[in-house]
Chains A and B, each alone.
Chain A
Amino acid sequence: MIRERISNAWQMLMGNKGRSILTMLGIIVGIASVITVVSVGEGAKDAVLGQFDQVGASSLLLSVSSGQAADSDYLNIDDVEAVREQIPDLRFVSAEYQLIGRTDRYGDSTMVFITGIDQDWMRISNLTLTEGRQFSLPELDRSVPVMIMEEETAKRLYPGRSPVGETIEINLRGILMEAEVVGVGYSVVSQMTSFADMEMDRPMIVYIPLSTAIDFSGGEARFSRIIAMADSPDHLQATGEQMVNVLENRHGNQGENLYSVTETAQLLEQADMVASIFTNFIAIVAAISLLVGGIGVMNIMLVSVTERTREIGLRKALGATMNDIMWQFLFESSILTFVGGVLGIISGMLFSRVIGYYFGFAPIIVLQTVVIAVLFSTAIGLFFGLYPARKAAKLSPIDALRRE
């Protein structure tokens, strides 16, 4: 009997296609926005968190508070060595050393972001090569002028060909360096930089050996950050405190609170939380639009009851009970919202793909959301269809039938 009711309701809806589609529109838009918001939100969260993830859950970032620190409080290469030697729990330790230079190689003076790297840095930041080779140990030790070009930069400046083997002249406040490109690759750092600077006139991003970078800057390198990776994510807090102790001892600034340590796991949690709050908030807004769509369905069904008094009267004359009439209207409104829900899901999926494509990440369609969306929209049909359906069922067939 349910199949009969469904096919009968479907027939009546198809008999007035234009109106049925217009009625569904509110539900389609509501469901589509819920699906879009949730899947784009999940996708964006995944993209951001994925970058943190590559850094690893056992990473630590120590930075010098730039406000109160004097020149002598900043870090040098010996500090890095001291931390490495005195804290055996740390597997990798490296300075974060970045310089900004310029090059005239590509027309007008182009900005160059230079990161000085060593073996540990490559491991912590997960430097992955797509062309050429890594720096060799002698190159890292003896400050050889070689560079690895960041992948996006290489694609932009050398479209369709490889920069490996090219020599590029970089000007750092008057000091010139000619460095040979030995490889192309990407790291967590380069991805974050390219993400942040999307709107800017894009700089070149390159990596050179840390020793080369220090020599290049005149040998007096001062760092504001040390990155480190522990063997395991346990005791990270204690390890961080040890790092601060070692550095305070070396610089004689105990208790001044100049060095602070962040665990990447914490950053991860915070980012996750912010993303969830944001997604939930927009999802609530979208759910409200869905509710409005449901009220729209109720409105149309009410109008339809008035318009179809004659049909209702006729059906009663032909043997329909009050229940038959009520179920007919309930099925009609539920089919409207169910089909609207399915169409909404399809358009939401398409729409989130477009958005994801535009912003450069893949949206994540959560099955749970899809199922809940369909159930919810069908429930809306039942709920908002109930009042019109009862009204239809109670309608007296007499006046309806005589009405001309």
Chain B
Amino acid sequence: MSNARESEITLQKAVITMRDLTKVYRSETIEYPALRGIDLTINEGEFVSIMGPSGSGKTTLMNIIGLLDNLTGGYYELQGIDSSDLSDASSAALRNRTIGFIFQSFNLLPQMNLIDNVALPMLYAGIPAKERRERAGEALKHVGLDKWSKHRPTEISGGQQQRVAVARAMVMRPSILLADEPTGNLDSLAAEAVLKLFHELHDIGVTLIIITHDITVAHHADRLIELFDGKISNDSLLTSHEGRKAGIS
């Protein structure tokens, strides 16, 4: 399942398709090409790491994947839907249902307790309050933090906050999890707990895309994409499935 050659044979469904995608940031005085022709296909259920030095365009790529930014040229299709057709409302709705976000700095809202934080995406999906509470409670339980549901984010550790963020990202049961330096602010123990959650999600068929600087984190994935200067410089399969498992246990 995690083997790229295998997936070619079984003709797995592509969730992300990019053709000659470009992104140019313009200000009054300068033009800065952040992405210069990306061709990329990510299939359903893949576990992909994206690496690259600062300024290589990986954040821009992630924003475009997450429908948070528009592209300048080329073509991007998310789950079979052409992104250029989308209005603000429909891209928000697609983002809400399809993609879960994880950020380096967790981005939990300090005014809300944990259960309300986890329930937030369901608010924008128009799910009734009772169901929101139930599902958010289940998601918190899944990451082992249901006892803290009435506490504020500031009352728990960074590792715990990131696990809450995973619960929030998954509460809408999206098909894609998009993580931007998810372990950047965590110690190794907390990082392992988060990565373990990622593997559990991968095992139930969620597509994972992780942007990271950390090579050991990147090697948890099955496929490594390296960016350099706005282009894909390397796209390879990481075959040591066994080694990965050894790495986390």
Taking beta carbons and an 8 Å cutoff, which residues of A are in contact with B?
Answer: 1, 4, 8, 11-12, 14-16, 310-311, 314-324, 396-398, 401-402, 404
Out of B63, B111, B124, name the residue touching A318 (CB < 8 Å). B124
Within 8 A of A (CB), among B66-107: 66, 68-69, 88-89, 92-93, 95-97, 101, 103-105, 107
Which residue in A310, A311, A318 is a CB contact (below 8 Å) of B121? A318
Count of residues in B whose CB is under 8 Å from the partner chain = 32
Q: Pick the residue among A11, A318, A323, A397 that contacts B116 (CB under 8 A).
A: A11
Known contacts A4-B123, A16-B111; is A404 also within 8 Å of B105 by CB? Answer: yes
Bound-complex Cα distance A316 to B94 (A): 12
The reply on B248 being an interface residue by CB < 8 A is: no
Chain B residues, Cβ within 8 Å of A1: 126
Tell me the minimal C-beta distance from A11 to chain B in angstroms.
6
27 contacts between A and B (CB under 8 A): A1-B126, A11-B111, A11-B112, A11-B116, A12-B111, A14-B111, A15-B112, A314-B103, A315-B124, A316-B68, A317-B101, A318-B96, A318-B120, A318-B124, A319-B95, A319-B124, A320-B92, A321-B92, A321-B93, A321-B124, A322-B92, A323-B89, A324-B92, A324-B124, A397-B68, A398-B68, A404-B104
In the assembled complex, B231 has its CB within 8 A of some CB on chain A: no
Which residues of B (153-182) have their CB < 8 Å from a CB of A? 168, 172, 180
CA gap between A376 and B67 in the complex, in Å: 40
Once A4-B129, A11-B112 are accepted as A-B contacts, the answer to whether A319 and B68 lie under 8 Å apart by CB is no
Residues of A within 8 A of B59 (CB): 402
Total A-B contacts with CB atoms under 8 angstroms apart: 70
Which A residue sits closest to B123, measured CB to CB?
A4
Given contacts A4-B129, A319-B125, A321-B89, contact A314 B95 (CB under 8 A): no
Q: Mark B32-74, 1 if CB is under 8 A from A, else 0.
A: 0000000000000000000000000001000100101100000
Indicate if the CB atoms of A315 and B120 lie closer than 8 Å. yes
Residue contact A401 to B88, C-beta cutoff 8 Å:
no
Q: Which of A11, A317, A396 is the one whose CB lies under 8 Å from B95? A: A317
Chain A residues positioned under 8 Å from B120 (CB to CB) = 315, 318
Residues B105 and A318 in contact, CB atoms below 8 Å apart: no
CB contacts under 8 Å to A, within B117-148, are 120-121, 123-126, 129
CA distance A16 to B109 in the complex (A): 12
Q: A319-B93, A398-B68, A402-B59 are in contact. Are A8 and B123 (CB under 8 A)?
A: yes
Instruction: Pick the most buried of B101, B123, B168: most chain A CB atoms within 10 A of its CB.
Output: B123
Chain B residues within an 8 Å CB radius of A402: 59, 180
Tell me if B110 is interfacial: C-beta within 8 Å of chain A. Answer: yes
Quick check: A15 and B129 within 8 Å, CB to CB? no
Q: Which residues of A lie under 8 Å from residue B172 when comparing CB positions? A: 319
Q: In whole Å, how far is A389's beta carbon from the nearest beta carbon of chain B? A: 15
C-alpha spacing A14/B68, complex, angstroms: 29
Question: Which chain B residues lie closer than 8 Å to A324 at the CB level?
Answer: 92, 124
User: How far in angstroms is the closest Cβ of chain B from A3?
Assistant: 9
Please judge, given known A-B contacts A14-B111, A317-B101, whether A322 and B123 are in contact too, CB under 8 Å.
Answer: no
Q: Output the least CB separation between A372 and chain B (Å).
A: 33
Q: Are B63 and A320 in contact (CB under 8 A)?
A: no
CA distance in complex: A1, B122 (Å): 12
Least Cβ–Cβ distance between B165 and chain A, in angstroms: 10
Option from A11, A316, A318 in Cβ contact (under 8 Å) with B168: A318
Is B110 touching A15 in the complex (CB atoms < 8 A)?
yes
Compute how far the CA of A237 lies from the CA of B112 in the bound complex, rounded to whole angstroms. 74
Instruction: State the CA gap A99–B121 with chains docked (Å).
Output: 86
User: Which residues of chain A are within 8 angstroms of B107 by Cβ–Cβ distance?
Assistant: 310, 314, 401
Which B-chain residue is minimally distant from A320 (CB atoms)? B124
- A404 to B110 CA separation, bound complex (whole angstroms): 15
Chain B residues whose CB sits within 8 angstroms of the CB of A11 once the complex forms: 111-112, 116
